């Protein structure tokens, strides 16, 4: 559907992936959610994936559900109408400096870009980061290039730490980044001025849809910006407490068909 072709009854629905659409237990989208999204589109509503993942890391979700657009990398990229409507990447020289600072301060993780996700060649001293790297290498986001190469740009990054890491020192060098604490020593770092909320705002203005007709669905800390921004905020049954003050509807868990339940209860389908 062309985004400009909307009417007064059209609603825009924005879904986080992990823990919202996608079960973190089965790594699948429940069939009930697949059907609910399809029914919403059949009724003329617009369905968007709004995620911290970059576009290259959407292979699994794109194979399971159909959507009208993808808001990726916490607002750093918007893909709809069969093309890229917006994309921001960290300037190349700044990206090189960020990589040096992360290494110097003893953190490790993944650099996330439009064309792939980049990790260190060598084994990480952080076991959870090493697990993350293995998942990336076996996913659609795998890149032939590594952290050490300098032939690419990236949009955001996800880093882990331990007791040896100098987190305060690093974050002091990242004044141009919004650092989101994901818990367990992990941090999602996004260029300032970008968030899941800025991406929604861009799409709503392009569609001519009011905020009253926008619904956001989420579960974790990196959904906070869109929950603060939204007026219709659907919180999954298993969720971060930080989102609770902004929720207008609390649904069931992913595995309990929470997406379909919420969409029925709210009259979307």
- Give the DSSP H or E segment for 131: helix 127-137
- Per-residue tokens: 31: 């069939």
**C-alpha to C-alpha distance for 156 and 74, rounded to whole angstroms:** 8
Model pLDDT, residue 155: 98
pLDDT digits (tens, 9 = 90+) for 25-60: 999 999 999 999 999 999 999 999 999 999 999 999
Q: Which domains does the chain have, with CATH numbers?
A: 12-88+194-265 (3.40.50.1000), 92-191 (3.30.1240.10)
pLDDT tens-digit series, residues 71-125: 999 999 999 999 999 999 999 999 999 999 999 999 999 999 999 999 999 999 9
The closest of 235, 266, 267, 264 to 35, measured between CA atoms, is: 264
């Amino acid at each position: 559907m062309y985004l400009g072709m909307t009417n007064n009854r059209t609603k825009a629905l924005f879904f986080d992936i992990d823990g919202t659409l996608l079960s973190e237990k089965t790594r699948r989208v429940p069939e009930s959610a697949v059907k609910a999204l399809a029914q919403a589109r059949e009724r003329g509503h617009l369905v968007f994936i709004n995620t911290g993942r970059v576009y290259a890391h959407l292979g699994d979700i794109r194979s399971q559900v159909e959507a009208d657009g993808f808001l990726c990398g916490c607002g750093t990229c918007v893909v709809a109408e069969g093309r890229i409507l917006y994309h921001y990447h960290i300037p190349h020289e700044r990206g090189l400096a960020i990589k040096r600072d992360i290494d110097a301060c003893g953190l490790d993780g993944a650099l996330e870009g439009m064309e792939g996700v980049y990790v260190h060649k060598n084994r990480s001293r952080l076991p959870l980061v090493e697990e993350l790297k293995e998942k990336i290498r076996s996913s659609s986001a795998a890149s032939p290039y590594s952290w050490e190469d300098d032939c690419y740009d990236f949009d955001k990054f996800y880093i882990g730490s331990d007791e040896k890491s100098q987190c305060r020192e690093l974050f002091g060098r990242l004044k141009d980044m919004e650092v989101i604490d994901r818990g367990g020593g992990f941090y999602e770092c996004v260029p300032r001025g970008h968030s899941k909320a800025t991406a929604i705002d861009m799409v709503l203005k392009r569609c001519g849809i009011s905020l009253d007709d926008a619904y956001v669905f989420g579960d974790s800390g990196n959904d906070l910006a869109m929950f603060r921004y939204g007026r219709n905020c659907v919180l999954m049954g298993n969720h971060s407490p930080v989102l609770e003050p902004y929720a207008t509807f609390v649904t069931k868990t992913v595995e309990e068909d929470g997406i379909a339940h919420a969409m029925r209860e709210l009259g979307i389908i």
